[in-house]
Structure 1
Amino acid sequence: MTSNFKIFLALALCGTLLTNCQKPQNNSVTANAGPTAATANIWPEVKKENRPWTRWWWMGSAVDEKNIGRLLGEYSRAGLGGVEIAPIYGAMGHESRYIEFLSPQWMNMLDFTVKQAGNLGMGVDMTQGTGWPFGGPQVKPEYAASKLIIQQYSLKAGQSLTENILVKDAKQQELGPILQAVMAYGDKGEILNITDRVNAAGKLDWTPKTGNWQIYAAFNGKTRQMVKRAAPGGVGYTLDHLNKDAVTAYLERFSQAFGNKNYGVRAFYNDSYEVYGADWTPSFLEEFQKRRGYDLRPYLRELVSEEKTENIARLKADYRETMSEMVLENFTRPWTAWAHQRNSITKNQAHGSPGNLLDLYAAVDIPEGETFGSSYFPIPGLRRDSADIRNVDPDPIMLKFASSGAHASGKNLISSETFTWLGEHFKTSFSQGKPEVEQVFLAGVNHVFYHGVTYSPEDVAWPGWLFYASLNLTPANSLWPHFRGLNDYITRTQSVLQAGKPDNELAIYWPVYDFWNQPEGRERLITVHSIDEWLHPTPFYKQVKNLMATGYSLDFVSDKMLAAADVSNGAIRTSPAAPAHNVLLVPQAKYMPVATLQNILKLANAGATVIIEQLPTNVPGLHDLSNQRQKLKQLTGSLAFTDAGNGIRQLKTGSGQILLTQDVPGALTAVGVNRETLADTGLKFIRREIPEGKYYYLVNHTAKAIDTTIPLNMEATSVVIMDPQSGRAGLAATTKAQNKTSVRIQLQSGEALILKATNAPTAGVIAWQYLDNPDQTQEISGTWALHFTQGGPDLPADQRLKQLLSWTELPDKKAEYFSGTGEYTITFNLPAKKAGEYVLDLGKVNESARVWLNGQEVGILWSIPFRARVGQYLKPGKNTLKVEVANLMANRIRYMDQHKIEWRRYHEINFVNINYKPFDASVWRPMPSGLMGPVTLTAYSTRNQ
């Protein structure tokens, strides 16, 4: 171990101790200075996967060892656990620094990065391409993303086609389109395959004897899509993800660069599937016949038709199912196998693809969802300016496709690309990020990746290199000195959410065939941005949303998952390593394969409890349709349900049962699956099962404080309250009755708590102190000394303030443009220290604060509510309060744009605002900055347990 590394470890340990000694920003934590040895052991041991990671854009791959080492050190000290290397386009004027992707020099930089990160206890992932989606110079035209091109011709009896059957688009001709089929459709319903009557030059040697004919010629064309935001050495066509030979050829470039090693890369990563118009591949006709059991060629006319008929919808459902299977079997699985051969794993965003998301997520090691845009939360004081947000609301139910895929396949880690376009550049606070990341956790994600951080050399002037769609959490960000506060909160939360197993009682079937069975278009991409079309209107979504809101925990399952599931002691498992579900719920689904219904009945016969809202009325697809319909009808008709009362019909089969009802909550109650009634308080929750009990992660996103007793659906010897904001823990006040444990909790709006309901010994754990009976509230007023410590463009002069206000309103014009930190200091008098506890409330803070009382650090108050217990730091008489406040980058960027100071010169997209328009901060109004108050001190009596 080097001496430098020993010094770093000492600093890191010191930082950890300081962090654990932070006083929380709320009135629901214990008053001790920090965790005792006993309480510290309550928290799981922190590993690098528990910490938040970040996407790390390498602009132009213009990286060097000195800056890599410097930046990784910054990231580690801020509390990040790892980086995900994503090479992209570069900055203008720095071309001499660019490094070709996968060149020996680039691989040396990767090797250095992994070693430096390892020395810091961090991990490294990398995207297996540059920009997105997968593609590059190794993708020759034959393996580029393909699309179906249909050209039509007309012939009458006795006529010969005078033009050659060749693709007319000159740009397509450059890439060698392949003629796949030529079909002739007569006016009397005749269908002829005349493909073999076309010679190599495209000449059709066929003349109809009677009637009028339409000729449909199908070609394998190319989308011509290039890699978006490609880095040097990564420019090229997008990959044909449906073509296994194309995938093999694509990976060969990485095989040559990596050999049989992984260079220490933990996970190879694939961004969201954004391959536009890629609805074909050269082998599609053969694959379709093999998978669907009939020839697609006679249906070319219907495949490109926009008529809204049942048969066209069925045909397109078969087409979409085939695409889904090909993405899974020809791309996702071979790619994951490639990584496994090198002792690495895969991390994949399946959304955006034309496949069944659940199966695609389950096929990789770390499924990854994505948050895009910002959500509304009624937390008082939480800023949400409509001009600074995208018109997109992230939906946690969308994220559950990723977590469900992981759970079904027994994978523990579920990641999320987090905070993409959360707000306008330079205007987003930690307070805005906290409820958004909490919503991610509540959906089952437990391995957050920020979007993100850009590598920037030390010699590039402020604000450094920046990515156009990022939150830009770089060391140049004026909030960076307080970044550790957010990161430690996420670390503690993820240490719990990665422990044990998910504890979800319901498995809910996703009726993908209802989604596929639509006559419009051809491919149907399941994207984050189109959930208003494919998800929100469905009975599935409405049922899931209602169940979650009323206190049920659930996962989604696919047809393939049900085929692989088994039952033990009434519990359903979709794989040997998967957690158990107590009930399988089948929501309204019009279309269902006979095999899927048979698998559902098989599970019930083996002892499972199944609740079906409505029996399927039809089968999907065209193949063997009459026979399959008859089988489904016979199967559903053979189910002899009896009336069980309350609108429930029951079928006992084998050692299990099926309940048929539209009253799902009533049926769940009837089979003894109870909701968590704590949801009635407005609290949101997610559970994890551990050997000694369960974790409950609770979040208050309501507009009001919650001080109440909540019941947990289990009996526990004791319940430990764990505060992820501070790291403290203590035994809660509890009672037990009727197989439930009731726990008193106190949560301000915007706060979170973790309950560890355990039957293990808790000797030595201190009691949790509750704050009761607020007594006197004292406003801390007088003359505040304000001293600006770091930031720019210039440090404003020191100020003495008799009233707190935004520093942008100070007479010193430098303060209007200043982004950085300022220290507020005041002396106040506390006549006597008689109360059990005192809570300091900073009031309004723009945007984050670090607090000291009488020279002792209280902690980082980085989010609403800006409150902390401070009793242990106070003394009778004179007290000194110091508050360091960090504001946003916005005001300094505004200054630069108003003064025409160039700070953004990038190849390709350059820099855009949140609406993808040219960025211009010169028209902004100054963002309020600093300590706004009022700052108050409130005395409370305290009660243990």
Structure 2
Amino acid sequence: MKTVIRRSCKLLPAILSMLLLQPAVAQQPAIPHTDTLRPDVWPAPGNRLHQPWTRWWWVGSAVDEKSLDASLKTLHDAGFGGVEIAPIYGAKGYESRYVSFLSPQWIDLLRYTVQTAAGYNMGVDLTTGTGWPFGGPQLTKAQAASRLIIQTYPVKGGTPFTAQIRINDNKQQGAALQALTAYNGKQRISLISKVDKEGKLQWIPPAGDWTLYALFSGWTLQQVKRAAPGGEGYTLDHLSATALPVYLQRFDTAFKGKSPGVRSFYNDSYEVYNADWTPAFFSAFKTHRGYDLREYLPELISEEKSETAGRVKSDYRETMSELLLDNFTRPWTQWAHRYNSVSKNQAHGSPGNLLDLYAAVDIPECETFGSTYFPIPGLRRDSADIRIVAPDPVMLKFASSAAHVTGHPLVSCETFTWLTEHFKTSLSQCKPEVEQAFLAGVNHVFYHGNTFSPPDVPWPGWLFYASVNFVPTNSCWPHLTGLNNYISRVQSVLQTGIPDNELLIYWPVYDCWENPKGKDLPLKVHDIDEWLHPTPFYKQVKSLQQAGYSLDFISDKQLGKTLVQGRKLITSTNAAPYKVLIIPAMKLMPLQTFQQIIKLVEAGATVIFESMPEDVPGLHDLDKRRQQLKALQQKVKGALSGKIAGTRLGKGTIYNYDGIQEALHIQHIDGEKLTAKGLQFIRRKDKDRTWYYIVNHTADAVDDAVPFNQMGAEDTVLLLDPMTGVYGPATVGHHHVNDVVRIQLQPGQSLIVRTGPVTAAEQAVGNWRYLNKPGTPLPLSGKWDLTFTQGGPFKPADRQLDQLVSWTSLSDTAAASYSGSAVYTQTFTLPDKLEKEYLLDLGKVHESARVTINGQDAGIYWAIPFQGRVGQYLRPGKNEIRIEVANLMANRIRYMDQHGIPWRNYHEINFVNINYKSFDAAGWPLQASGLIGPVTLIPHQ
């Protein structure tokens, strides 16, 4: 239908205020929304590493060559750069199609997948196992995850003890007795040599009350979770030097010495429950810590806050960390290299130093689990559809810091796990979540995920129980290229050059390890409110970031390898240099670490202590190490002048001052001013250019003049829109003592800013087009023709709408349960003289849209604020707009559950809701669907 719009034109004044700067007026070239990255601006176009990859669940490994080819092509056409194969349990009724994991047929299918993917310029990763964690039928109890079991026996002095020392738990029969120690106050007597083969102890205790502690090396008995056919079995003992070779031998046999061609081998988050031991632990502990743990079994299992117990547990946890690093992470990476592949590992959840574990692999990978609150107006976040623990960017930075400090170029992230309840996730909700990962240093995104589903499986196909499920049956699929292209553009920048972070901040892991609670201490994503949030380290990181500083974390081991060159800290030959080392307030620091820090200062580094460490960790030679630490601290304190300005020590400068930001300012290191406006950023350096990725996750629009630290007097500033690919030189002015750039960002929007020289081709496109002084909005308030195109369970009748409403409000029962796409069309008339630019505002959209104007693709509107520049598509007089809208899957699933239509029937966990309860959508309220509007054209001069 027609809407007639008339409006007179007014010219923008030639001179704007200094605050808003001089606007650009040149017309931007038309760049299709399906464009590849421009080689003259966007770095390395066509690189598959820039595109998002996805975890690819092989349900029951029920795959075949024809379907694999079709599925890979579908993924390629949607903008995916690679897949990560993860075989899992199967769907019931399809058992005849299952292919046993690592069987000759399975290996043939893997090789076919790798070859076919290469034809689509896609990569393939493979988890070294099925489900998670690593394990399988090749493992006996000798290689299975172990746990320590301690039994106690009260004994009276002078009373003969002749009982049999044997494990009480019937499930642990065969567990080896490794220690038997008698305790009476400070008296400790080892009795293991007095126990015969039958477990009988013949001993008469001295006078007094005694307690015998018997330690058995048992097993967790954990089986592989979500195992695929052929992958069932015990979980691996990750701490054992002898278990990993046995586990990997099965892969060597299956591969027959020939590389399968996968890009990387992958390990999921460490979920080896109660695995707090390995049979060789006592000997490893004595080698690494210098004393016998058998003498401290009461302290090992104590929950009391005693100093000795805390030190013993710290030593125990440090030993576990080293075993995990030396006996699993490093040799597994070396094994991957033998097959010309790299390693990719999620260290979180491990009972170890996360920074060291992440750094030991080629691609550290973090994970977003649940959803974050963003104050972006209109962004839906239903409390009934979210997990309790929100993703924390500081947690994500453990992976990126390890990569940056060691010089690894890629940081990956398992993204969107349990983002919302099933079938209720919109692309708009995905955007700020993935942006938060980018801001934390991630530059290689993996979706969680995509489930392989044969074409003959009825809608919704095979699905995974914890994923958003980015699959072709998801009604968002026609618009997924919008999200994928956005991620590709951002990652093309974030994989360019090197990180540009000026600060290193030391992570005091020993303060965590001294916690008297429990035995092992897995550092889980879900427990960050216990081991991370309360710490001075966390508070200091947040404070520095909010002040505009860029930083990475560093461990004791990594500090030990750090050098100083020209007053800058060099952590690796491939890593970017750092300007300052920050030591947050802490209690415990190893003597070697403190000594190394002083050496770095003497060599020319700048180090700021929020406060000096109070003590050394651990128990062995405690008095000696304490004295050495105290003597070194006195030496340093004697050199300190007590002034805020810091003190020269050797060639460097050292501060002992809790005003860290003030000390940084004295060193002429200031944060980026844009954070004062609520904006967030991450920065990369590429030779003579600096790239800023900036997002606005606030509730307010930003239109302001912003200074940038990495902008020289001779630099040109290029603005790039990662949503569309459009770019152009920015308007630069001068305010006070700073050069400033005008930045316009609505809530939810992002922008890339590049400083440095520009090429002739870049300059030729014309300056960045700012939106100045909007004119009177032009509502498209006429009637809309509505046609339902692709979806189900039933197709609603086409109709004409007098006003835009949710499909669920239409007088058509088919529309209420419909999930899929529908097209809105309207014609309207514009004045003979058009303004310089028009902004199309779709208003409320449930949930995404593709806009066509006068037959030209005007882009995918998949995220808040659902606005786009459309001036280049409009013409004087009659215009036609076509808006294809896709809703959620929720209403259709609701209908199926209400009518008892089966769609979930899997082995093992089957299908659960976000709280891991039985899934049932029958009681869900209907989800708003379609274009709600109002749809408005806003002219700009």
Asked if structure 1 preserves the Cα contact closer than 8 Å seen for 2:640 and 2:647, the reply is no
Q: How far does residue 628 in structure 1 lie from its aligned partner after superposition? A: 0.6
Letter of the 1:93 counterpart: G
Alignment match, 2:16 = none
Q: What is aligned with 1:452? A: 449
Mapped partners of 1:203, 1:451: distance in 2: 54
The equivalent position to 1:557 in structure 2, one of 554, 557, 569, is 554
Does residue 911 (structure 1) correspond to residue 908 (structure 2)? The answer is no
SS of equivalent to 1:770: coil
Greater shift in the superposed pair: 199-208 or 419-428? 199-208
Residue 884 of structure 1 deviates from its aligned partner by: 0.3
TM-score (norm 2): 0.95
1:192 aligned residue: 189
Contact 2:645 2:666 in 1 (8 A): no
* Match of residue 638 from structure 1: 635
Indicate the SS of the match to 2:389: coil
Three-state SS of the structure 2 residue aligned to 1:687 is strand
Q: CA deviation at 1:760?
A: 4.8
Correspondence for 2:310: 313
Residue 314 of structure 1 deviates from its aligned partner by 0.7
* 3-state SS of 2:242 partner: helix
Q: Which residue number in structure 2 is paired with residue 648 of structure 1? A: 644
> What corresponds to 2:727 in structure 1?
729
Among 683, 687, 698, the alignment partner of 1:702 is 698
Determine the structure 1 residue equivalent to 2:685.
689
Q: Residue 873 in 1 paired to residue 873 in 2?
A: yes
Q: Of residues 318, 321, 325 in structure 2, which corresponds to 1:324?
A: 321
Compute the displacement of 1:770 (Å). Answer: 0.8
CA shift, 1:484, in A, is 0.4
How do 1:294-373 residues align onto structure 2 when only pairs under 5 Å count?
294-373=291-370
What's the CA shift for 1:869? Answer: 1.3
Are 2:623 and 1:601 aligned? no
Per-residue deviation at 1:256? 1.0
* 1:644 to partner: Cα distance: 6.5
Report the CA distance shift for 1:644/1:29 in structure 2 as closer, same or farther (over 3 A): farther
Q: Which residue of the partner structure matches residue 715 of structure 1? A: 711
| Aligned-partner SS, 1:919 | coil
2:741 alignment partner in structure 1: 743
Q: Which residue of 2 aligns with 1:44?
A: 43
Alignment partners' CA distance in 2, 1:171 and 1:511: 39
Aligned 8 A contact 1:88 1:231 in 2: yes
Whether the 8 Å contact between 1:649 and 1:661 is mirrored in structure 2 is no
Deviation at 1:211, TM superposition (A): 2.9
Deviation of the 1:66 alpha carbon:
1.0
TM-fit CA distance, 1:315: 0.7
Listed one character per residue, the Cα deviations across residues 659-695 of structure 1 (whole Å, up to 9, x for unaligned) are 1110010000001111101111111000000012100
Aligned to 2:101: 101
1:467 paired to 2:464: yes
1:661 to 657, 674, 680: 657
Q: How many angstroms apart in 2 are the aligned matches of 1:543 and 1:28?
A: 44
Q: Which residue of 2 aligns with 1:885?
A: 885
Tell me which amino acid in the other structure corresponds to 2:86.
Answer: A
1:32 CA displacement: 2.5
- Alignment of 1:514 onto 2:516: no
Deviation digits for residues 455-511 of structure 1, max 9, x if unmatched?
000000000000000101101101100100000000000000000000000000000
Tell me, in whole angstroms, the C-alpha distance in 2 between the residues paired with 1:84 and 1:558: 30
Amino acid at match of 1:754: I
Question: What is the SS of the residue equivalent to 1:314?
Answer: helix
Separation in 1 of the partners of 2:327 and 2:822?
Answer: 56
Could you say which residue in structure 2 is the equivalent of 1:21?
none
**1:390-409 map, 5 Å:** 390-409=387-406
Alpha-carbon distance between aligned partners in 1 of 2:160 and 2:878, rounded to the nearest angstrom: 104
Displacement after TM superposition at 1:116 (Å): 0.8
- CA deviation after TM superposition for structure 1 residue 261, in Å: 2.7
Residue 420 of structure 2 is aligned to residue 423 of structure 1: yes
User: Does structure 2 retain, via aligned residues, the 8 Å contact 1:641–1:651?
Assistant: no
- Residue aligning to 1:20: none
SS state of the match for residue 769, structure 1?
coil
CA distance 1:437–1:884, shift in 2 (3 Å): same
Shift in Å, 1:905:
0.2
Report the Cα offset of residue 341 of structure 1: 1.1
Q: Partner residue of 1:248?
A: 245
The range that moved more, 202-211 or 858-867, is 202-211
2:526 aligned counterpart, secondary structure? coil
CA distance in 2 between counterparts of 1:131 and 1:268 reads 14
Q: Residue 183 in 1 paired to residue 172 in 2?
A: no
Corresponding residue for residue 20 of structure 2: none
What letter matches 2:840 in structure 1?
A: L
Residues 510 and 37 from structure 1, CA distance in 2 versus in 1: closer, same or farther, beyond 3 angstroms? Answer: closer
Measured after TM superposition, the shift of residue 37 of structure 1 is: 12
Residue 134 of structure 1: how far off its partner (Å)? 0.7
Matched, 1:780 2:780: yes
CA drift of 1:39 comes to 6.2
> Can you list the C-alpha shifts for 1:753-783, whole angstroms capped at 9, x where unaligned?
1011113544434211111011121110111
1:31 touches 1:837 (CA, 8 Å); kept in 2? no
Counterpart check, 1:791 vs 2:791: yes
Aligned-pair distance for 1:343? 0.8
161-170 vs 615-624, which deviates more?
Answer: 161-170
| SS across alignment from 1:401 | helix
The answer to whether the Cα contact below 8 Å between 1:28 and 1:771 also exists between their aligned partners in 2 is: no
Correspondence for 1:11: none
Query: 160-169 vs 63-72, which deviates more?
Result: 160-169
Q: CA deviation at 1:38?
A: 12
Pick which of 579-588 and 568-577 moved more.
568-577
After TM superposition, the score normalised by the length of structure 1 is 0.95
Q: How far apart are residue 122 of structure 1 and its match?
A: 0.3
Unaligned runs of 5+ in 1: 1-26
Q: Which runs of 5+ in 2 are unaligned?
A: 1-23
Q: Aligned letter for 1:116?
A: T
Q: Does 1:267 align with 2:288?
A: no
The alignment yields a C-alpha RMSD, in angstroms, of 1.7
Secondary structure class of the residue paired with 1:790: strand
Q: Secondary structure at the match of 1:476?
A: coil
Please state whether the residue corresponding to 1:710 is helix, strand or coil. strand
Report how far residue 740 of structure 1 moved: 5.1
Aligned positions of 1:131-280 closer than 5 A: 131-173=131-173, 176-186=174-184, 189-280=186-277
- 2:617 corresponds to which of 620, 634, 638: 620
Encode CA deviations 1:97-119: one digit per residue, 9 max, x unaligned.
11110000000110111011000
Give the drift of 1:210: 3.0
Query: 1-side partners of 2:55 and 2:37: how far apart?
Result: 36
Instruction: Tell me by how many angstroms 1:28 deviates.
Output: 13
Q: Measure, in 2, the Cα distance between the counterparts of 1:782 and 1:714.
A: 49
- Quote the Cα distance in structure 1 between the aligned partners of 2:224 and 2:698: 43
Contact 1:830/1:876 (CA < 8 Å) preserved in 2? yes
| Letter of the 1:41 counterpart | D
8 Å contact kept, 2:27–2:766: no
One-letter amino acid of the structure 2 residue matched with residue 693 of structure 1: R
Task: Output the CA distance in 2 between the equivalents of 1:262 and 1:649.
Answer: 58
CA offset digits 1:857-915 (Å, max 9, x no partner)? 11111111111111122122221111000111111111111111000000010001111
Cα deviation for residue 178 of structure 1 reads 1.0
What amino acid sits opposite 1:675 in the alignment?
G
What is the distance in 1 between the residues matched to 2:157 and 2:379? 74
Shift of the alpha carbon at 1:209? 4.3
- Aligned counterparts of 1:558 and 1:621: Cα–Cα separation in 2: 17
In 2: Cα distance, 1:719 partner to 1:890 partner: 45
Return 113-122 or 830-839, whichever deviates more.
830-839
Tell me how far 1:642 sits from its aligned partner.
6.4
| Percent of residue pairs bearing the same amino acid type | 58
Question: For residues 493 and 37 of structure 2, what CA distance do their matches in structure 1 show?
Answer: 17
- Tell me if structure 2 keeps the 8 A contact 1:158–1:207: yes
- 2:487 aligns to what SS in structure 1? helix
Stretch deviating more after TM superposition (52-61 or 384-393):
384-393
- Corresponding residue number in structure 2 for 1:538: 535
Structure 1, 711-720 or 694-703: larger mean CA deviation: 711-720
Counterparts of 1:492 and 1:784 in 2: how far apart (Å)?
Answer: 34
Corresponding residue SS for 1:371: strand
CA distance in 2, matches of 1:881, 1:303: 71
Query: Which amino acid in the other structure matches residue 623 of structure 2?
Result: S
**CA contact under 8 A between 2:37 and 2:725: conserved in structure 1?**
no
